[in-house]
Amino acid sequence: MSADLTHVDTWLFDLDNTLYPADSGFMDEVVRRMTGFVQKVTGLPHDEAFALQKAYLAEHGLTLKGMMLNHGVDPLEFHAIFHDISLEMLAHDPQMLRALERLPGRRLIFTNADDVHAERVLKRLGLADLFEDVFHIGRAGYEPKPSPEAFARMSAAHDVDPAGTAFFEDSQRNLEPAAGLGMTTVLVGPHAPACEAPFVHHKTDRLAPFLMGAHVKGAA
């Protein structure tokens, strides 16, 4: 059944593994570089560095947050390691372009990545001009999703009315605080159909067809 999103006029999107397919392999390279950075800072062997990286992600919502708190890492130095990653794995998706264009109201990005990464990826995907703004981790004061404070800062920056907002994410746990605020939540990715969390209102393994089929305000 097509989702009824006729109440939505603010469209809030995560970036990585949401606006492009998770199976692109792009985030695999991000994770690989992140593990290398953790190794360099801590001196741990690869497997232990990877385990620590994932532990910080689970505890804080972002590996960087744990590295900042426990190792004094400069976030700018951390983010710089991703700025020259090849974007060849990311491709233009004409259907995604059309799907986003048909959404009435404003479109925003809400990402735990930094501004440079977000700009590079959006330009590569051909979607940069479709979004009013990017609320990135720097603007959140390095307070990552799913922290309620991250949502509060994003909402204040853009005067977001949760009742008229739909939030699209590939991370299930990042949707829980959004639902708590009153947003409509959509879980995206191959894992989504199996999700049974009550705070996930809609699920789709492919975002563009979901958006194309959704009932939206003003559509014929």
Model pLDDT for residues 40-79, shown as the tens digit of each residue: 999 999 999 999 999 999 999 899 999 999 999 999 999 9
Between CA 145 and CA 8 the distance in angstroms is 21
What strands lie across the sheet with 202-204, from one edge to the other? 133-135, 106-110, 10-13, 165-169, 184-188, 202-204
Spell out the domains of the chain, with CATH numbers in brackets: 4-21+91-216 (3.40.50.1000), 26-80 (1.10.150.450)
| Cα(68)–Cα(59) distance, integer angstroms | 13
Could you give the CA distance from residue 198 to residue 100 in angstroms, rounded to a whole number? 26
Half-sphere exposure of 100 (CA within 13 A, CB side): 26
Positive/negative CA dihedral, 99, 101, 102, 103? positive
Angle at 94 between CA 145 and CA 174, to 5 degrees: 10
* pLDDT 10s digits, 148-172: 999 999 999 999 999 999 999 999 9
Residues 99 and 79: their CA atoms lie apart, in Å, by 30
**Which residues does the chain have with pLDDT short of 50?**
none
